[in-house]
Amino acid sequence: MGLIVKTTARATIPLIGIFGAYIVSHGHLTPGGGFQGGATIAGAGILFLIAFGLGEMKRRYNHHLYSALEGLGGLVFLGAAMLGLGVAFFYNTLWHSGPVFNGEPGTLLSAGYLPVMNLAVGLKVFAGLLSAMVAIAAFRRWNE
């Protein structure tokens, strides 16, 4: 893309990233959550891909890292769900008797495992969507 698109992308990619992080981390307080925030952050990555081109993206994109991050997101979600396995699967033990995330409802550190799960889902969605877009962009040639 041209110079103006590139310069604007330089300035806005961090802003899109922090806004997505805000949506993910406030999923239990405001509209949004893991998927919406993760898709927003993936939008920053796609903006990078479109503004700077596939060559620049290939230099910075590590397939193994993103694959591992996606797996990590899923595992953290599962781990948070298993925390209260003594009572039941998905039992919110952090909220009922946990050491953290059991603050006053309405504050950031409340709602038990929900913020953890939102972060996990956000990470998974970001890594998955961005890898999918890079894979599509790197498709070898246009087939008739």
Partner 1 sequence: MGFIAVFIWSFVLWLVLTAGSKGLLWSPEELVAGLIFSGVIALTTKDIIGEKASRFLNPAKWVGFVVYSIGPLFWGMVRANLDVAYRVITGRIKPGIVRVPVELENDAQYTILSNSITLTPGTLTIDACPEEKALYVHWINVTEKEPANSEVIAGSFEKWARRLGR
Q: What does the binding site for partner 1 look like in residue numbers (CB under 8 A)?
A: 2-4, 6-11, 13-15, 17-19, 21-22, 25-26, 48, 103, 107-109
DSSP string of 102-119, one letter each residue:
-SSBTBTT-STTHHHHHH
CB of 1 to partner 1, least distance (A): 11
Nearest CB to partner 1, comparing residues 25 and 93: 25
Structure tokens at 117: 């799960």
> Three-class SS of residue 106?
coil
CB of 136 to partner 1, least distance (A): 21
Nearest CB to partner 1, comparing residues 48 and 113: 48
CB of 61 to partner 1, least distance (A): 12
> Three-class SS of residue 107?
strand
Rounded distance between C-alpha atoms, residue 9 and residue 47, angstroms: 7
CB of 143 to partner 1, least distance (A): 32
> Three-class SS of residue 144?
coil
* Residue type present at position 50: I
Nearest CB to partner 1, comparing residues 52 and 84: 52
CB 118 within 8 A of CB 27: yes
Nearest CB to partner 1, comparing residues 47 and 91: 47
CB of 140 to partner 1, least distance (A): 27
Task: Tell me which residue of 117, 137, 136, 135 sits closest to 38, measured CA to CA.
Answer: 117
Structure tokens at 111: 């709602």
Nearest CB to partner 1, comparing residues 18 and 78: 18
